[in-house]
A and B are shown apart, each in its own frame.
Chain A
Amino acid sequence: MALDQSFVGRSYPPTDPYEVGREKIREFAEAVRDANPAYVDPEAAKALGHSDVIAPPTFVFAITFKAAGQVIEDPQLGLDYSRVVHGDQKFAYTRPVRAGDRLTVTSTIEAIKSLAGNDILDIRGEVHDEAGEHVVTAYTKLVSRAAEGA
Protein backbone atom coordinates (compact mmCIF):
# COMPACT_ATOMS: atom_id res chain seq x y z
CA MET A 1 0.00 0.00 0.00
CA ALA A 2 1.38 3.41 -0.96
CA LEU A 3 2.58 5.56 1.91
CA ASP A 4 0.65 8.71 2.80
CA GLN A 5 2.13 11.72 0.96
CA SER A 6 0.97 14.05 3.73
CA PHE A 7 3.95 12.81 5.83
CA VAL A 8 6.40 14.64 3.54
CA GLY A 9 8.03 17.45 5.51
CA ARG A 10 7.23 15.91 8.87
CA SER A 11 10.01 16.30 11.45
CA TYR A 12 10.43 14.19 14.55
CA PRO A 13 11.64 15.46 17.94
CA PRO A 14 15.44 15.63 18.40
CA THR A 15 16.95 12.53 19.98
CA ASP A 16 18.60 12.47 23.38
CA PRO A 17 22.33 13.23 23.05
CA TYR A 18 24.64 10.42 21.94
CA GLU A 19 28.05 10.81 23.54
CA VAL A 20 30.85 9.83 21.16
CA GLY A 21 33.56 7.86 22.95
CA ARG A 22 37.17 7.35 21.88
CA GLU A 23 36.92 3.61 22.37
CA LYS A 24 33.74 3.37 20.29
CA ILE A 25 35.52 5.15 17.44
CA ARG A 26 38.48 2.78 17.85
CA GLU A 27 36.15 -0.24 17.78
CA PHE A 28 34.55 1.02 14.56
CA ALA A 29 37.88 1.83 12.88
CA GLU A 30 39.17 -1.65 13.76
CA ALA A 31 36.01 -3.25 12.39
CA VAL A 32 36.53 -1.59 9.01
CA ARG A 33 40.30 -2.33 9.21
CA ASP A 34 41.12 1.37 8.88
CA ALA A 35 44.50 2.17 10.41
CA ASN A 36 44.31 5.97 9.97
CA PRO A 37 45.92 7.31 13.19
CA ALA A 38 43.44 10.23 13.35
CA TYR A 39 40.84 7.70 14.56
CA VAL A 40 42.82 6.27 17.48
CA ASP A 41 45.71 8.54 18.43
CA PRO A 42 44.75 11.91 19.98
CA GLU A 43 48.22 13.32 19.21
CA ALA A 44 47.95 12.34 15.55
CA ALA A 45 44.50 13.92 15.42
CA LYS A 46 45.85 17.11 17.04
CA ALA A 47 48.66 17.25 14.48
CA LEU A 48 45.90 17.49 11.85
CA GLY A 49 44.20 20.30 13.78
CA HIS A 50 41.50 18.28 15.56
CA SER A 51 40.90 18.66 19.29
CA ASP A 52 40.53 14.89 19.79
CA VAL A 53 40.33 11.71 17.72
CA ILE A 54 37.82 11.95 14.89
CA ALA A 55 35.46 9.29 13.58
CA PRO A 56 35.58 7.69 10.12
CA PRO A 57 33.18 9.35 7.66
CA THR A 58 30.44 6.71 7.90
CA PHE A 59 30.59 6.23 11.70
CA VAL A 60 27.69 8.62 12.30
CA PHE A 61 25.28 6.35 10.41
CA ALA A 62 24.81 4.19 13.49
CA ILE A 63 23.48 7.29 15.27
CA THR A 64 21.36 8.71 12.45
CA PHE A 65 19.87 5.35 11.52
CA LYS A 66 18.83 4.70 15.10
CA ALA A 67 17.19 8.14 15.07
CA ALA A 68 15.47 7.26 11.79
CA GLY A 69 13.78 4.48 13.74
CA GLN A 70 11.29 7.11 14.88
CA VAL A 71 10.19 7.37 11.24
CA ILE A 72 10.53 3.72 10.30
CA GLU A 73 8.52 2.57 13.32
CA ASP A 74 5.94 5.37 13.19
CA PRO A 75 2.69 3.34 13.24
CA GLN A 76 0.86 6.19 11.49
CA LEU A 77 3.28 6.02 8.56
CA GLY A 78 2.90 2.24 8.38
CA LEU A 79 6.14 1.27 6.64
CA ASP A 80 6.62 -2.51 6.30
CA TYR A 81 10.19 -2.70 7.59
CA SER A 82 10.54 -6.39 6.75
CA ARG A 83 10.52 -5.38 3.07
CA VAL A 84 12.91 -2.43 3.40
CA VAL A 85 16.32 -2.25 1.75
CA HIS A 86 18.86 0.57 1.95
CA GLY A 87 18.86 2.33 -1.42
CA ASP A 88 21.17 5.32 -1.17
CA GLN A 89 23.22 6.97 1.55
CA LYS A 90 24.85 10.36 1.58
CA PHE A 91 26.58 12.54 4.17
CA ALA A 92 27.29 16.28 4.03
CA TYR A 93 29.77 17.34 6.71
CA THR A 94 30.36 20.72 8.33
CA ARG A 95 33.07 19.09 10.46
CA PRO A 96 34.06 15.54 11.39
CA VAL A 97 32.46 13.79 14.36
CA ARG A 98 34.98 13.64 17.20
CA ALA A 99 35.38 12.02 20.60
CA GLY A 100 33.55 13.93 23.30
CA ASP A 101 30.78 15.14 21.00
CA ARG A 102 27.26 14.96 22.38
CA LEU A 103 25.16 14.65 19.25
CA THR A 104 21.44 15.00 18.72
CA VAL A 105 19.62 14.01 15.53
CA THR A 106 16.51 15.56 14.08
CA SER A 107 14.89 13.35 11.45
CA THR A 108 12.66 14.72 8.71
CA ILE A 109 10.79 12.93 5.94
CA GLU A 110 12.09 14.60 2.79
CA ALA A 111 10.18 12.67 0.16
CA ILE A 112 7.84 9.75 -0.37
CA LYS A 113 7.56 8.24 -3.83
CA SER A 114 5.93 5.20 -5.29
CA LEU A 115 7.69 3.49 -8.16
CA ALA A 116 6.55 0.19 -9.69
CA GLY A 117 4.79 -0.72 -6.45
CA ASN A 118 7.85 0.07 -4.33
CA ASP A 119 7.62 2.76 -1.68
CA ILE A 120 10.66 5.03 -1.61
CA LEU A 121 11.26 7.02 1.55
CA ASP A 122 13.88 9.77 1.87
CA ILE A 123 14.88 10.65 5.43
CA ARG A 124 17.16 13.54 6.33
CA GLY A 125 18.94 13.38 9.68
CA GLU A 126 20.45 16.67 10.86
CA VAL A 127 23.16 16.12 13.45
CA HIS A 128 24.03 18.92 15.87
CA ASP A 129 26.48 19.14 18.75
CA GLU A 130 25.83 20.30 22.29
CA ALA A 131 26.37 23.94 21.31
CA GLY A 132 23.69 23.58 18.65
CA GLU A 133 26.23 23.75 15.82
CA HIS A 134 25.68 21.64 12.72
CA VAL A 135 28.06 18.68 12.37
CA VAL A 136 26.73 16.52 9.54
CA THR A 137 23.53 15.76 7.67
CA ALA A 138 22.75 12.17 6.69
CA TYR A 139 20.46 11.49 3.74
CA THR A 140 19.04 7.98 3.79
CA LYS A 141 16.92 6.50 1.02
CA LEU A 142 14.94 3.41 1.99
CA VAL A 143 13.07 1.27 -0.51
CA SER A 144 10.16 -0.86 0.65
CA ARG A 145 9.79 -3.53 -2.02
CA ALA A 146 6.35 -4.32 -3.34
CA ALA A 147 4.78 -7.40 -1.76
CA GLU A 148 4.76 -10.46 -4.04
CA GLY A 149 1.59 -10.75 -6.08
CA ALA A 150 0.67 -7.14 -5.26
Chain B
Amino acid sequence: MTTTIQYADVEIGTELPAQAFPVTRATLVQYAGASGDFNPIHWNEKFAVEVGLPDVIAHGMFTMAEAIRVVTDWVGDPAAVVEYGVRFTKPVIVPNDDKGATIEVSGKIAAKLDDGRVRVDLVATSAGQKVLGMSRAVVQLA
Protein backbone atom coordinates (compact mmCIF):
# COMPACT_ATOMS: atom_id res chain seq x y z
CA MET B 1 0.00 0.00 0.00
CA THR B 2 1.42 3.34 -1.11
CA THR B 3 -0.31 6.63 -0.55
CA THR B 4 0.81 10.20 -0.20
CA ILE B 5 -2.06 11.18 2.11
CA GLN B 6 -0.69 11.57 5.61
CA TYR B 7 -2.69 10.50 8.63
CA ALA B 8 -1.43 13.59 10.45
CA ASP B 9 -2.83 15.86 7.72
CA VAL B 10 -6.48 14.82 8.03
CA GLU B 11 -8.96 15.69 10.72
CA ILE B 12 -12.43 14.52 11.61
CA GLY B 13 -14.66 16.40 9.20
CA THR B 14 -12.04 16.71 6.42
CA GLU B 15 -13.96 16.41 3.15
CA LEU B 16 -12.83 14.29 0.22
CA PRO B 17 -13.38 15.71 -3.28
CA ALA B 18 -17.00 14.94 -4.22
CA GLN B 19 -17.78 13.37 -7.60
CA ALA B 20 -20.77 12.79 -9.87
CA PHE B 21 -21.00 9.53 -11.81
CA PRO B 22 -23.31 9.30 -14.85
CA VAL B 23 -25.12 6.03 -15.53
CA THR B 24 -27.12 5.21 -18.64
CA ARG B 25 -28.74 2.02 -19.93
CA ALA B 26 -25.56 1.38 -21.91
CA THR B 27 -23.52 1.61 -18.70
CA LEU B 28 -25.75 -1.02 -17.09
CA VAL B 29 -25.46 -3.40 -20.02
CA GLN B 30 -21.68 -3.05 -19.91
CA TYR B 31 -21.63 -3.60 -16.14
CA ALA B 32 -23.88 -6.65 -16.50
CA GLY B 33 -21.38 -8.19 -18.88
CA ALA B 34 -18.33 -7.34 -16.79
CA SER B 35 -19.84 -8.47 -13.49
CA GLY B 36 -21.88 -11.42 -14.73
CA ASP B 37 -25.06 -10.03 -13.13
CA PHE B 38 -27.66 -10.35 -15.88
CA ASN B 39 -30.74 -9.80 -13.72
CA PRO B 40 -33.27 -8.27 -16.19
CA ILE B 41 -34.33 -5.56 -13.68
CA HIS B 42 -31.10 -3.85 -14.79
CA TRP B 43 -31.85 -3.72 -18.52
CA ASN B 44 -35.45 -4.75 -19.30
CA GLU B 45 -38.03 -2.16 -18.28
CA LYS B 46 -41.00 -4.39 -19.04
CA PHE B 47 -39.62 -6.93 -16.58
CA ALA B 48 -38.71 -4.25 -14.02
CA VAL B 49 -42.24 -2.82 -14.05
CA GLU B 50 -43.77 -6.30 -13.79
CA VAL B 51 -41.89 -6.91 -10.53
CA GLY B 52 -43.07 -3.60 -9.10
CA LEU B 53 -40.17 -1.25 -9.86
CA PRO B 54 -40.79 2.19 -11.39
CA ASP B 55 -38.27 1.54 -14.20
CA VAL B 56 -34.92 -0.16 -14.83
CA ILE B 57 -32.60 0.28 -11.83
CA ALA B 58 -28.82 0.25 -11.58
CA HIS B 59 -27.05 -2.73 -10.03
CA GLY B 60 -26.51 -1.98 -6.34
CA MET B 61 -22.96 -3.26 -6.82
CA PHE B 62 -22.44 -0.72 -9.62
CA THR B 63 -23.38 2.09 -7.22
CA MET B 64 -21.10 0.57 -4.59
CA ALA B 65 -18.23 0.47 -7.13
CA GLU B 66 -18.74 4.13 -8.05
CA ALA B 67 -19.05 5.39 -4.47
CA ILE B 68 -15.68 4.03 -3.36
CA ARG B 69 -13.97 5.97 -6.17
CA VAL B 70 -14.29 9.09 -4.02
CA VAL B 71 -11.90 7.28 -1.67
CA THR B 72 -9.61 5.53 -4.18
CA ASP B 73 -9.19 8.63 -6.39
CA TRP B 74 -8.29 10.61 -3.27
CA VAL B 75 -5.87 8.11 -1.76
CA GLY B 76 -4.30 6.94 -5.05
CA ASP B 77 -3.62 3.31 -4.18
CA PRO B 78 -6.91 1.35 -4.06
CA ALA B 79 -5.20 -1.14 -1.71
CA ALA B 80 -5.47 1.51 1.01
CA VAL B 81 -9.13 0.49 1.38
CA VAL B 82 -9.06 -2.18 4.10
CA GLU B 83 -12.79 -2.31 4.77
CA TYR B 84 -15.80 -1.13 2.79
CA GLY B 85 -19.49 -1.64 3.45
CA VAL B 86 -22.83 -0.23 2.31
CA ARG B 87 -26.54 -0.70 2.77
CA PHE B 88 -28.69 -0.52 -0.35
CA THR B 89 -31.50 1.79 0.75
CA LYS B 90 -33.07 3.09 -2.49
CA PRO B 91 -32.55 2.08 -6.12
CA VAL B 92 -30.88 4.32 -8.71
CA ILE B 93 -33.59 4.64 -11.38
CA VAL B 94 -32.17 4.78 -14.90
CA PRO B 95 -34.55 6.08 -17.58
CA ASN B 96 -34.20 5.01 -21.20
CA ASP B 97 -32.87 8.29 -22.60
CA ASP B 98 -29.50 9.75 -23.48
CA LYS B 99 -29.07 11.31 -20.03
CA GLY B 100 -29.83 8.37 -17.75
CA ALA B 101 -29.16 9.06 -14.08
CA THR B 102 -26.39 10.57 -11.98
CA ILE B 103 -24.96 9.20 -8.75
CA GLU B 104 -23.54 12.00 -6.59
CA VAL B 105 -21.04 10.93 -3.96
CA SER B 106 -19.39 12.88 -1.16
CA GLY B 107 -17.23 11.67 1.69
CA LYS B 108 -15.60 12.92 4.84
CA ILE B 109 -13.37 11.68 7.61
CA ALA B 110 -15.67 10.42 10.36
CA ALA B 111 -13.08 8.97 12.75
CA LYS B 112 -9.34 8.65 13.22
CA LEU B 113 -8.54 5.07 14.17
CA ASP B 114 -5.35 3.35 15.37
CA ASP B 115 -2.37 2.43 13.15
CA GLY B 116 -2.79 5.31 10.71
CA ARG B 117 -6.28 4.31 9.67
CA VAL B 118 -9.31 6.54 9.23
CA ARG B 119 -12.99 5.87 8.73
CA VAL B 120 -14.54 7.66 5.76
CA ASP B 121 -18.31 8.03 5.67
CA LEU B 122 -19.77 8.33 2.18
CA VAL B 123 -23.07 9.83 1.09
CA ALA B 124 -24.48 8.71 -2.26
CA THR B 125 -27.60 10.24 -3.77
CA SER B 126 -29.45 10.06 -7.08
CA ALA B 127 -32.34 12.34 -8.07
CA GLY B 128 -32.18 13.82 -4.56
CA GLN B 129 -32.67 10.44 -2.85
CA LYS B 130 -30.09 8.79 -0.64
CA VAL B 131 -29.29 5.49 -2.39
CA LEU B 132 -26.74 4.06 0.05
CA GLY B 133 -26.89 3.96 3.83
CA MET B 134 -24.18 3.10 6.36
CA SER B 135 -21.69 3.62 3.57
CA ARG B 136 -18.30 3.46 5.25
CA ALA B 137 -14.72 2.66 4.37
CA VAL B 138 -11.72 2.10 6.60
CA VAL B 139 -8.66 3.52 4.85
CA GLN B 140 -4.97 3.05 5.60
CA LEU B 141 -3.06 6.33 5.34
CA ALA B 142 0.66 6.98 5.37
Contacts and interface: CB of A to CB of B under 8 A. Distances in A.
Nearest to A148: B52
B44 to A, nearest CB: 15
A96 B80 CA distance: 9
B83 interface: yes
Contacts of B134: 88
Contacts of A47: 2
Contact of B62 (A32, A54, A66, A88): A32
Nearest to B31: A31
Interface in A54-70: 54, 56-58, 61-62, 65-66
Contacts of A28: 34-35
A66 B62 CA distance: 16
A11 B33 CA distance: 29
Interface in B33-53: 33-37
B36 A93 contact: no
Contacts of A87: 87-88
Interface of B: 1-2, 21, 27, 30-31, 33-37, 60-62, 64-66, 68-69, 72-73, 76-79, 81-88, 134
